[in-house]
Chains A and B, each alone.
Chain A
Amino acid sequence: MRERIELPGVITISSTDGLAWRKRKLTKQGIIYVVLIPTIAYFLLFFYYPFVTNMVWMFTDYNFLDRPRFIGMDNIIRLFHDVYAWRALRNTFVITVLSTPITLCISLLLALAVFYLKMGKAIVRGAIFATYIVSTIVAAVTFKVWFNGELGYVNNVLASIGLKQIPWLTDPFWAMTAIVIVSVWLLIGYFMVIFLAGISGIDSQQLEAGKIDGANTWQLFFRITLPQLKPIIVFASIIAISNYLKTYPSVVILTNGGPYRSTETILMYMFDQGFMSRNVGYASVIGIVIFLITMIIALLQLKLTKFFSE
């Protein structure tokens, strides 16, 4: 205040202005530091540090209690000889390879069917999408009750139409079938909405032009609709694959990996090794394998999107 009285007008304005500007710059820097330092600290502590720790633990024998003991490549060699690990990987791939195309086909068909609805579009879309709102846990619980051998709803329906009862969760083949059914059911609603958004974005003039040129519905679909949906299909398949590779709680509930470990997934095996058997070093190796598989798929995604956008 005193400054302003003593100095001539023009200088007063510019000097207080300069002061305010400098102060402003300080508070501007203030918010940057206040917000970004905790952000960086968090990502370091909860993402980078654990990942690096995983890499280190790979070469150690560790059980959460004693200090990690360096054992070189033992854990990695062990992985190559571990039948259960390979079986868990194979089961995970089977779930992924079966569920992904089935899910995408059904949800694309549903999206098309909903798109051409002339009435009640929002209701049908909402009802189908509601399946996605049901959590993995609740869905797995429901289907577990449904697939129950004697009391289960599915077998009752089968019996009532004169078919043989199926040992859903006690036979390796049918247990896997049940898991795939649940996996597919869980994501149909999600991808239906994704595809519906994609179909709605298709250039309708092209379709009109195709119609005028005398193309039938199938030709229109395969020549115009499908090619334009390609980027979305690629995107959706990546999401589906990375989801199915991490199949875990649904299997814990449905079969708990059984019968005879025929449905155990790799993530389940990792947690089992890490927290039940306390082979933390070995579990880290499995974790890194999961990470590498995800990375390879992400790189494939980049390649594929580039390929399809040309």
Chain B
Amino acid sequence: MKQTIPILLILSLLTLFTACDDSFLEENRKKTDSYILDGTLFVYPTPQFTEVTFALADLDVNRFKVSRYKVVQYPRILHFASLHGEIDGSGKLTFDIKVDPFESTVSLEPLELGTIILDIDGFGLLSIPVMHYNPGIPHAELSEQLLDLDSVSIEKEFTLTNQANGYLFYRLAAKPEWIRLSQQSVYEDSFQLDSTRLLYPFSQTSFRIIPDRDQLPAGTHEGEIILETNDPDNPRLLITVKVVVRSFKNPYSMIPLEGKVIDAEFDKLTNCAILITQNPAQLITYQLDRKEKQVVNLERNPSCIQLSSDHQLILVGMNDRIESFQLSTLQRQESFVTGFIVTDITDGENGRYYFSDTNNELYSVERKTAEVINHTAGVWQNRIEGDVLLKLKGKPTLLLSRKTTSPNGVFMVDIADPASPRLLNYWHTGFGARYWTTEDQQLLFSTNDGKVYHTPDETTGEEIRETGKLIPYDSGYEYFYYFSSFDHNKERSVIWGAYASLVSLGRNIVVAFDDSHYNRQRTIILNDYVFNVSGKADYYKTMAHYLFTSSNGSQLLLVKNIDSHDLSTNAWHLELVNITNE
């Protein structure tokens, strides 16, 4: 029994020694490997547990083995369904979390919410950054869906607007190669394909589109600008871009003319235009149906033309001469010596041609005898004046006017006695440098202001009755709309007017009106004309000085010249415009 005491003492000491073992402190000296995941866990408030999966294959976490992990740290707004779990042999880490609601303001910068740290057996500590990203929800809008750069525009602009509280990211996903995009607010900027830009909430930005026509063949080209955005309602914004590349060649529908066009007429019976030019002195016909141009050189400079009442002859007034030509053959038929420049001429349908000189004096020549009579001489009250003549069809009546006097004055002359014209009436008004009428001559158009009048007759009182006005475009301040010529097409019930634009106005147009209420039906912008100046071809604005429609109203023939500030030259040409279906 005496041995019992030492045994008890030894047992007690062993217990004491066991309790004095400090080896557990060695754990503090062990180094733990730490890794930061090359990625971020972005979270949003969720009331339910949501599965989150990471692929840790790149980290070589105990490859091909199942590893256990423990969560050792996590952001306090997170809740883990379990604070431990497993990573499978392929490195797939999965856990379920839910996220408490938290204040989230729209910001471009991610909100750092902390770090999850996992202690993975046999691997070490793995840190997973946790962030919240709330760029808001933008709303993108474009100012334009179509940008037409036409043939001359250097650039066009469109605006991208973000009308909501969200950052708008937009990527230039596509654009035609022949345009360059430049952001207005960025100096020497070029918005490159596949690049992404940012637009702040409730803001807008503008882009210039600059075409590079040099790399394109002649013709019309169309392409699309596509912006991909983070706007959920408008993930793709599309703008169609058009550009026209000129060939610096006039199309076949433009027929160049030599010299300066002095006067033009049109015969609707044969669809034939008749022109006279100076320098060179020529008589030109252009047959619309056959697209055939005929030219006859004249011995003297012509000054006016008119068709005979039977539409068989072209009467040409010229310097010191009146000549007539067969419309169909352009063979000269008659020649009368006048001794002066004939300013206008008309067929009196009484065996005489009536004509005027530069002194506004009225003459006639008897076709059989070639006798020329001056009808202006007489007492001044009955003096007949004019260098503009209009023979009213089926009536022994002439209307005279003065080109360069204001007002032009309207003289009504009775030619029932062919050799002794008699002044019937005079109205102190005018309709411009030429009488333009409807086909039936019932209405007169004024080139001064576009007004339409009833053609005066013997019953017309002191005032020539106005019936309407042709207004070529809407304007808040203009009242006088100058025209250079008119054409009435009875078949289509259309009145065409060639607007006499000032260059500065830039309204190089011809306009169609209905002949009942004079409403504007259609406007055609005149094509530019390629003209060679000092060896360099360029496009020039044009203006129509005469216009004619074919008898069926399907074609429009324009007699044009270039219309330029700095270029005063003769580049006269015809242009044929098909107006069938428009």
Q: Do A and B bind each other?
A: no
